[in-house]
Amino acid sequence: MEKVQPISFGKALNYHLNNAQFISDNIKTTIDNNGEIRDSGKGTENKTTSNVNTTKIKNQQKQPKDEKERRATEVTNTPDKSHDNLTDTIKKLDQILTFIANENNTLNHQQSVKDRKLIHVLNTTKKATSYARNSIENVEMEGKRFDVEHIEEFADISPFYQDILYLVTNVESLKKKDDNNLQEINQTKKQLEEAKNECETLQHRLSKMAGARLTDGNPNITNLGDPNRPMKIGETYSELYDNEWTDTMDFCIQKFGKSSSEDTIIQHLFKTIVGCNKFCEEKSAVMLKAGKENLETAVTTLMIVSSEAEVIKQAMDIRKMAAESTSDQLLESIRKSKKEITTTYFKTMDKKILELIMSTSFFTKCFKLCWKMVVQDPPMFLDEGPQKDKAFDKNVFREYTSSGTKVVFTVWPALYLHKNGALLVKGVVKVK
């Protein structure tokens, strides 16, 4: 038995289209003949027309030259046969249309399945790429770890899955190595930091001991790490005259007007710093004596072998270290007992002017600065200037506004490193 070869869709479609074309030609011929037959059936009363039509039909039957035309003529000779042929033809066309529609649906379905698979592959690839990129960014920026199990959802695209899995595991391995290296680096840094701090501590102690021996009783050698060293105090003393002194003078002149002259205000400002310095000198001596006694008692009680000079040096060091807090306490006590202080140290000053000056920042800074000066070892020294109508040393003082040779009054004292020591800041005098 001969095996039947399957007919491809293209050949089947051509076959059906050829049949459809042939049937369409027959339909046209049948419609034309039926029209004539239907026209002849209308006039049963008109015999002439009927005869003419009958003659035409006979002539048409004689004219066909080949067998196909004769068959078509025979099919269309009667109305009943034509109707049957049309019905058969329509059924065949319906079958052809059904076949074409089915084939079209099959092709559409196959194309739709392919499109869905392609879209699925594209979406999965995008997800896998996005996940890999985000995972790498997390490792670089936040130090997060990869979730390798999460990548298995991309296993349906095996080439990408294998590549991504390889990259992820490789990056994870490198991340672990980096973490270990970073831990070792941090540990080494910590050890270096501890060694550095230890060296700085030892260096500071050594420097402090050496500085203490060098500066002990020697004001010409200063410890640059001391914020209250004489040179720094000299700078603050100069700034106090340039800034707060000027502001306070303007404030007092504006407050009292014509009732007090500028010279009166200037002399009150001079008496203020001189009075603060005298108060601090006396108070410092009293505190140094009390501190010395307390230390001697402690040394005796604890049976510590120590010389009197060492006890005094320790008392002076304690007083100097507590200079800031002590000056705050003394300033508070002055403001609480103004009457006692004013009658002792500011007795020649006008009370209203003194009260106004004591309410300003000039008085606060002036008092704290004087306390820092008297707790130095040895204490710093204020030169109140020459007497009235006396000559002055231009190397120590400078003129206030106008030049001259004789002093009217001292505007601002000169500051020395210590008594009979080096000059730090020149004073100011009004001359004539």
**Domain stop point among 143, 178, 199:** 199
**Domain stop point among 379, 395, 427:** 379
Q: Which domain holds residue 160?
A: 153-199
Query: What is d(CA 233, CA 389) in angstroms, rounded to the nearest whole number?
Result: 31
Are residues 122 and 54 part of one domain? yes
SS3 226: coil
Are residues 358 and 257 part of one domain? yes
Local confidence band at 257 (pLDDT 50, 70, 90 cut-offs) = confident
Tell me: pLDDT of 384 over 60.
yes
Are residues 160 and 117 part of one domain? no
Are residues 178 and 121 part of one domain? no
Residues 6+ apart with CB under 8 A from 58: none
Tell whether 108 is covered by a domain: yes
Are residues 235 and 374 part of one domain? yes
Tell whether 431 is covered by a domain: no
**Domain stop point among 360, 379, 398:** 379
Tell me: pLDDT of 4 over 60.
no
Tell whether 217 is covered by a domain: no
CA-to-CA dists, residue 148 to 36, 179, 266, 377, angstroms? 85, 19, 85, 74
pLDDT tens by residue, 106-148 = 777 777 777 777 676 666 666 666 766 666 566 555 544 545 5
Tell whether 174 is covered by a domain: yes
In this prediction, residues 69-74 reach a mean pLDDT of 51
**For residue 272, what pLDDT is reported?**
94
List 407's β-bridge partners, or say none.
Answer: 431
Are residues 117 and 243 part of one domain? no
Instruction: Find tokens 């002439």 and name the residue.
Output: 48
Tell whether 132 is covered by a domain: no
In this prediction, residues 316-321 reach a mean pLDDT of 62
Are residues 339 and 273 part of one domain? yes
Are residues 238 and 175 part of one domain? no
**Residues 128, 161 contacting (CB under 8 angstroms):** yes
Local confidence band at 164 (pLDDT 50, 70, 90 cut-offs) = low
Tell whether 103 is covered by a domain: yes
Chain-wide mean pLDDT for the chain?
Answer: 73
SS3 86: helix
Are residues 367 and 234 part of one domain? yes
Selected residue with higher pLDDT from 193 and 49: 193
Are residues 92 and 32 part of one domain? yes
Tell me: pLDDT of 270 over 80.
yes
Tell whether 218 is covered by a domain: no
Query: What is d(CA 416, CA 166) in angstroms, rounded to the nearest whole number?
Result: 80
Tell whether 82 is covered by a domain: yes
Tell me: pLDDT of 40 over 60.
no
Are residues 121 and 161 part of one domain? no
In this prediction, residues 340-360 reach a mean pLDDT of 87
Are residues 189 and 269 part of one domain? no
Tell me: pLDDT of 220 over 90.
no
User: How many domains in the chain?
Assistant: 3
pTM score over 0.75: no
